Structure 1
């Protein structure tokens, strides 16, 4: 494939930062909705699902598209496919191992204590129970939890490396440009996602177990590969700009249908409505992504002084944010605060804790690779005159 460097797309950088900011608020929201989570507030409410569903369909697929785009840029600067794979393995698996061993355990402990009657303290749990490689209270330990995204990103990087070596990429890129520069940009991915959500897995759920998560792989791997091809395609980026407003309106319509079903007085959706609900989910998922990429290309592709710091901070924030949310929620449960105060404190504490984690970690040379940051260059020692 071409070794021409891919210019940095500041608009997609801003999308990535915004998507992870949404993720923090989303995971705070998980404390209050009736869906399963590691820590639950006494102020849970069914209505809290509605704003969550505004982003639930597209937030992760967008991150995989942006990750695919970034992978193309990294590959053009790497010393071959093998060098690219080695670099990505170090940047992804080292923080993944650190996260599973050190960052995630408090989440599992809080869930066991608050939902499964576990009576041991955290040090005892971490030393004696966490690394059992089995189940405790129905929870698989050690746990990936939110770090499944990093594991999947590494797996998709492996697939990408094999594809780049096996496919005549110039021809594949030309075919991508021809196909997705027109209305097929909306139609083809949308048809695929409708098959997933309305036909093959109606009202299905992701498992976040890489060996048993077919629905997620069918959705996220194509999104990742689409982003990789998009990085070398000016015509498809132009098509995203051209279709951004129709795509945005379709995304809003898909969310509107989902809202109508959720707000129906009969409660749970009848089984015959599952395919239509899944189709609306698919519409919201893909068209929102196309619209956001179009707006990023047309309006947000410009740099700012804070962008470099924010893009570097995203990975450390992602690594630690859910553990902070779960621990702070656990400490707030006995305080008897109102739901609104709990939510505000959780958001503020999570942002502050993530920022402290990033600022402290980036200054310590051995810690940087553990939290997903590039190693600092070694200082050059000049000889004394």
Structure 2
């Protein structure tokens, strides 16, 4: 087992932080988009709808590649049981903290001030349970998926680490290319789509169940990205492929985004909307790994105290931004008639308050532990890099 601590991957830290922080413009633009949300402006904005769609089409796929990369790196550094404990604490404690402190108050906010919850008083027991799951997990879904993927990683990473030991020739993936990766992801998309279609045919009620969607369907969707990131750590040829710009990935991403827009506007949920969406977003996410990694490696691969601060702050900012965005949408959006102005005022409102709250929480050891999952002695300074 390797215990050597590698050189810091500054560009991956930066990308991870920026992808996390993109959650704020994503949800703020959702208010002003043509998509129905808990809160919407009086009239939708075309450019903010397009902007929202673009962020949604690739952001989390790239994020899970980076998560898999760093997770496998840490897996090699610790004993497996120690690794599982550390990773689940880092992800699970902030998730469990955010439910009573953030998403539960948010639930009552939505129930009282928006029609998002529905007629709660007339819900049956299961309907109330399911509504609570959808709204309490809410934007915390990716933390739940990370906990599940981390747990699965005990087995999957062991196979990845030990694979090939009994073979006379080891695969180094030097012959891997974007065509082969694309075909493999198309194959996975067909498997995922087939699973969803079978559920739709035989147990359609499951597709409206919050826990099933988050714990099963979302986990399955992001599993190949998570494992691809882990493989990029183990096999330098895969990482090199990601870091060498291929113009066809940019062309493919552009075409996939156009297909994504057309599918969202002209397909229906009863038809093949979700299955087509899976093929498109899996491929766009894969190709955008190359686009984002090459740009990040070129522009962001250096140490910066500002980036270190953002890396440390990004999870907390993401956790608190959602109720702040809803507060802005409910009480301030109606007072600003211009959508573009409202969007940028909203960004200033949410970012400003979120960073103030982040600085306050740094000075309260209990909150710092609850929102980072680190013991007090492991979170000594806001300038200390996040592992």
Q: TM-score range by the shorter chain?
A: 0.7 to 0.9
Shift of residue 83, structure 1, vs aligned partner: 0.9
Shift of residue 218, structure 1, vs aligned partner: 2.4
Residue in structure 2 matched with residue 54 of structure 1 by the alignment: 54
For residues 294-305 of structure 1, the aligned pairs below 5 Å read: 294-305=294-305
Paired with 1:379 and 1:321, the residues of 2 have a C-alpha distance of 22
Equivalent position SS for 1:57 = helix
Q: 1:42 to 1:168 in 2, by over 3 A?
A: same
Residue in structure 1 matched with residue 254 of structure 2 by the alignment: 252
Residue in structure 1 matched with residue 352 of structure 2 by the alignment: 352
Residue in structure 2 matched with residue 140 of structure 1 by the alignment: 132
Shift of residue 220, structure 1, vs aligned partner: 0.5
Residue in structure 2 matched with residue 72 of structure 1 by the alignment: 72
247-256 vs 4-13, which moves further: 4-13
Q: Which has the higher contact order (CA 8 A, sep 6+)?
A: 2
Are the aligned partners of 1:251 and 1:284 in contact in 2 as well (CA < 8 Å)? yes
Shift of residue 31, structure 1, vs aligned partner: 1.6
Q: 1:115 to 1:96 in 2, by over 3 A?
A: same
Q: 1:278 to 1:159 in 2, by over 3 A?
A: closer
Deviation per CA, 1:313-372: give whole Å up to 9, x if none.
Answer: 111111111111011212215535432332122111111121112111112111111111
Residue 155 of structure 1 pairs with residue 148 of structure 2: yes
Residue 307 of structure 1 pairs with residue 307 of structure 2: yes
277-286 vs 364-373, which moves further: 277-286
Q: 1:180 to 1:40 in 2, by over 3 A?
A: farther
Shift of residue 260, structure 1, vs aligned partner: 5.3
Residue in structure 1 matched with residue 17 of structure 2 by the alignment: 17
Shift of residue 177, structure 1, vs aligned partner: 3.5
- Name the TM-score, length of structure 1 as normaliser: 0.80
Deviation per CA, 1:233-263: give whole Å up to 9, x if none.
Answer: 221111123353221221112213334566x
Shift of residue 197, structure 1, vs aligned partner: 7.2
Residue 91 of structure 1 pairs with residue 83 of structure 2: no
For residues 171-210 of structure 1, the aligned pairs below 5 Å read: 171=164, 177-178=172-173, 181-183=176-178, 186-195=181-190, 201=196, 209-210=210-211
Residue in structure 2 matched with residue 216 of structure 1 by the alignment: 218
Residue in structure 1 matched with residue 112 of structure 2 by the alignment: 113
Equivalent position SS for 1:366 = helix
Paired with 1:317 and 1:38, the residues of 2 have a C-alpha distance of 20
Paired with 2:378 and 2:12, the residues of 1 have a C-alpha distance of 30
Q: 1:341 to 1:257 in 2, by over 3 A?
A: same
- Name the TM-score, length of structure 2 as normaliser: 0.80
Q: 1:156 to 1:349 in 2, by over 3 A?
A: same
Equivalent position SS for 1:41 = coil
Are the aligned partners of 1:39 and 1:330 in contact in 2 as well (CA < 8 Å)? yes
Shift of residue 188, structure 1, vs aligned partner: 3.9
Q: 1:218 to 1:116 in 2, by over 3 A?
A: same
Shift of residue 54, structure 1, vs aligned partner: 1.6
Paired with 1:252 and 1:210, the residues of 2 have a C-alpha distance of 33
| Unmatched 5+ stretches in structure 2 | 201-205, 381-387
Paired with 2:222 and 2:171, the residues of 1 have a C-alpha distance of 18
| Unmatched 5+ stretches in structure 1 | 120-124, 381-385
